[in-house]
Amino acid sequence: MSGLKDKDPWGLKDKDPCVRIYYAKSLGIIAAKASEKQLENAIHTLIDGFKDEHENTRYLFAISLGVISTNLTDKQLEGVFNALPNELKNIYFDSYRKALEEISTKWNEKQSEK
């Protein structure tokens, strides 16, 4: 996963939205067992996926980000929150809502432990 942010070895920018969807799902699964540096790269790659022109693809990137959010540190969770735009346009609403729900759940669990 090294250098994912700068390269497209598996299809993030493929013209076929189905390839990008499978990429997002796979990245979420792989990132769940990644090292800290690999996880950081995966986070940035998934956030970049929110710029995809296809709503379903953006949604899958959000789900994948939500899946790996259980492995994020407080600092990483804060970074994810800061990366999500404040204003949620209708076309982006569902994908961001899902990511925020997943991240919010994890954030609340961590806060409850303190």
* Contact call for residues 51 and 87 (beta carbons, < 8 A): no
* Contact call for residues 46 and 32 (beta carbons, < 8 A): no
Pick from 24, 9, 94: nearest CA to 57: 24
What is the domain partition of the chain in residue ranges?
Answer: 17-113
What integer pLDDT is reported at residue 81 of this predicted model?
72
What integer pLDDT is reported at residue 93 of this predicted model?
43
Quote the tokens at residue 53: 């022109």
> Would you say the pTM of this structure is higher than 0.85?
no
* Contact call for residues 65 and 80 (beta carbons, < 8 A): yes
110 vs 91, higher pLDDT: 110
